[in-house]
């Protein structure tokens, strides 16, 4: 089968490889679509980061390069181990792509398995990936979805779940209608976080330099206001919108220190600042902005037992993922069309989906 494999920085190869063997407790997923993520680009440009390096196998997967890439994927079950009785060939599924040590509790009550030692991701740390025609996954990490959700949308459930977890961490949920949220940055995660907030009835203000991204935020209906921080005083505007009080919650999705300052200034006293982005280096922030307003500053990484709720938002039609799919390509075009577009022309591209078998492209 065809697979995209990470060998090293700037060295990802499309190769013919043997499919993984089915093991007890696993099922084979024929990948329908796999999204390209910012993390994949970082591995390509600056890696290995999550991917193991030569001579340093990942402590849980035991694998070193080459490893198959792709962690934002969905597909159809094509083979099920004998000891699994709640999955059938033909089921549509999304994968929660974790690699987590066997001794960690990953049960439905766990709120911390994603923070366990050496946590990594299928499609980065080993165990196959979604940028291959099929992948064998442990039952624990397979989530069934309704056939009514189209499979190209389902590939976006993984990044949507990142947004869902950030929103949950910020304390926003079904009883938050009427609150006002400010999002710094309207890249894919900023937009999908906004989509979850809108589903909960929150008023969403986005601050974003790129015109194309501001337009996307408005056109997809996930933002009520999209502000250009070079032209508009975002802090003033948020206070105008909230009778002088400030935003209830803010989401930092840029890893730019100046954005942190804007969000802290725009929040109401005791508001929540949720940091969603991963930072390449330490940031300088004025901590008095936190102290003097008693802000809550929280981190968020990945997701933990959030897939069922995120899937339900999509199944119930409360989140429409249609406008976020901006291109569909085959595996052979991964670098030239996929990575290159996202690296050099990323303003209009939100999610580029890859059909590893090419079957999705025929339709």
In terms of CB distance, is 114 or 225 closer to Zn ion? 114
Binding site for Zn ion (CB under 5 A): 37, 39
- Nearest distance from C-beta of residue 123 to Zn ion, angstroms: 9
| Pairing mode, strands 98-99 and 92-95 | unpaired
Select 99 or 264, whichever has its Cβ closest to Zn ion. Answer: 99
In the complex, minimum distance from the CB of residue 318 to Zn ion, in angstroms, rounded to a whole number:
22
Q: How far is CA 65 from CA 6, 121, 143, 214, 272, in A?
A: 6, 14, 28, 39, 40
Measured from the CB atom, is 4 or 37 closer to Zn ion? 37
Query: What residue is closest to Zn ion based on CB?
Result: 37
Q: How far is the CB of 102 from Zn ion (least distance, A)?
A: 24
* Distance of closest approach, residue 322 Cβ to Zn ion, in angstroms: 20
For the CB of residue 98, give the shortest distance to Zn ion in the complex, in Å: 12
Shortest distance, CB of residue 240 to Zn ion, whole angstroms?
A: 35
Residues 6+ apart with CB under 8 A from 103: none
Q: Is 240 exposed, middle or buried (0-12, 13-18, 19+ CB in 10 A)?
A: exposed
Residue closer to Zn ion by CB (options 37, 205) is 37
| 152 and 360 Cβ atoms separated by less than 8 Å | yes
Instruction: Report in angstroms how near the CB of residue 351 gets to Zn ion at its nearest.
Output: 10
Report the chain's C-alpha Rg in angstroms.
20
Shortest distance, position 39 Cβ to Zn ion, whole Å: 5
Q: Considering only CA atoms, which of 353, 332, 335 is closest in space to residue 2?
A: 332
| In the complex, least distance from residue 157 CB atom to Zn ion, rounded to whole angstroms | 12
């Amino acid at each position: 089968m065809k697979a995209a494999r990470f060998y090293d920085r700037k060295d990802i190869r499309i190769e013919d490889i043997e499919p993984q063997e089915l093991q007890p407790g696993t099922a084979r997923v024929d990948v329908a679509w796999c999204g390209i993520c910012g993390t994949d680009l970082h591995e390509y440009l600056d890696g290995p980061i999550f991917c193991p390096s030569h001579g340093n196998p990942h402590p849980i997967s035991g694998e070193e390069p080459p490893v198959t890439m792709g962690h934002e994927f969905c597909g159809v079950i094509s083979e099920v181990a004998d000891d699994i009785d709640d999955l059938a060939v033909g089921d549509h599924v999304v994968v929660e792509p974790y690699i987590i040590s066997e001794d960690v509790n990953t049960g439905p009550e766990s709120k911390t398995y994603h923070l366990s030692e050496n946590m990594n991701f299928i499609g980065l740390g080993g165990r196959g990936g979604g940028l291959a025609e099929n992948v064998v996954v442990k039952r624990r990490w397979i989530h069934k979805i309704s056939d009514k959700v189209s499979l190209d949308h389902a590939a976006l459930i993984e990044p949507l779940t990142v947004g869902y977890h950030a929103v949950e961490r910020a304390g926003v949920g079904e009883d938050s209608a009427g609150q006002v949220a400010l999002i710094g940055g309207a890249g894919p995660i900023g937009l999908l976080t906004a989509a979850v907030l809108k589903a909960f009835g929150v008023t969403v203000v986005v601050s974003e330099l790129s015109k194309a991204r501001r337009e996307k935020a408005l056109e997809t209906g996930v933002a009520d206001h999209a502000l250009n921080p070079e032209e508009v005083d975002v802090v003033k505007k948020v206070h105008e919108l909230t009778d002088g009080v400030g935003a209830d919650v803010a989401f930092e999705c840029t890893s730019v220190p100046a954005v942190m300052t804007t969000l802290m200034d725009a929040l109401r006293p005791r508001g929540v600042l949720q940091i969603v982005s991963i930072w390449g280096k330490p940031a300088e922030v004025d901590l008095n902005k936190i102290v003097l307003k008693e802000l809550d500053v929280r981190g968020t990484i990945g997701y933990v037992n959030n897939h069922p709720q995120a899937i339900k938002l999509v199944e119930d039609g409360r989140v429409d993922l249609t406008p976020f799919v901006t291109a569909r390509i085959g595996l052979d075009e991964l670098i030239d069309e996929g990575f290159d577009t996202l690296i050099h022309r990323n303003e209009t591209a939100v999610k580029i989906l890859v059909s590893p078998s090419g079957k999705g492209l025929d339709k």
